[in-house]
Amino acid sequence: MAERVEVLLTEQEVDDRIQQIGDQISKDYAGRQVHLVCVLKGGSFFMCELAKRITVPVSLDFMSVSSYGKDTKSSGVIKIVKDLDESLQGKDVIVVEDIVDSGRTLSYLLELLRGRGPKSLALCTLLDKPDRRVVEVKVDYTGFAIPDEFVVGYGLDYDQRYRNLPYIGVVKFE
């Protein structure tokens, strides 16, 4: 199926918003250290940009859970493909995601991570599609709430492509 990509959020808009979230996190966690947990692969571009804008001490870790293949709908089947390297015990953890869609992935993941004894656990997502929510998830920091359309860029893919776009685009299938 042929597809094209239309710009939804420009690079400048995304960068400006990430700066605001970085400022907010730096304020909210003043005097503490934040441990950012990136959900691969989609969250990686956002996490790097966000981490550069946080002024309190930052440590990073990565995990990977099963996500979309070529399908654009969440299967609801989630498995850990790569686990964290470090313990979360006593840490102020912020999970950094690309997008919250049905909420299935995040609700599963947050429960799992909560069981590992972090001092606090927050969720930061670049994008949110609130209309698509099936499972309730508390989001602490949201870049942009967007309409129910399939988006790519800034880490988000369609069939593993377009992650490297420096902006957020909507995939139009024709």
Tell me which residues touch ligand IMP (CB under 6 A). 42, 67-68, 74, 97-106, 150-152, 156
Catalytic sites, residue numbers = 101
Residue 47 has phi, psi (to 5 degrees) of -60, -45
Is the peptide bond preceding residue 91 cis, with omega within 30 degrees of 0?
Answer: no
How far is 149 from 124, CA to CA, in rounded Å? 20
* Contact string 70-89 vs Mg ion (x = CB under 5 A): --------------------
H helix or E strand, kind and range, residue 108: helix 104-114
Q: Which is nearer to ligand IMP, 17 or 163 (CB)?
A: 163
Residue 150, both tokens: 């399939």
Q: Is 42 in the site for Mg ion (CB under 5 A)?
A: yes
Residue 150: contacted member of ligand IMP, Mg ion, none (CB under 5 to 8 Å, by partner type): ligand IMP
- Residues of the chain by 3-state class (helix, strand, coil), percent to 5: 25, 35, 40
Residue 103: contacted member of ligand IMP, Mg ion, none (CB under 5 to 8 Å, by partner type): ligand IMP
Q: Is 155 in the site for Mg ion (CB under 5 A)?
A: no
Q: Is 101 in the site for Mg ion (CB under 5 A)?
A: no
Q: Out of 8, 25, 96, 98, which residue is the one contacting Mg ion (CB under 5 A)?
A: 98
Q: Which is nearer to ligand IMP, 44 or 74 (CB)?
A: 74
Q: Is 128 in the site for Mg ion (CB under 5 A)?
A: no
Question: Residue 112: what residue type?
Answer: L
SS3 122: strand
Cβ atoms within 10 Å of 106's Cβ, excluding its own: 23
Contacting positions for Mg ion (CB under 5 A): 42, 98
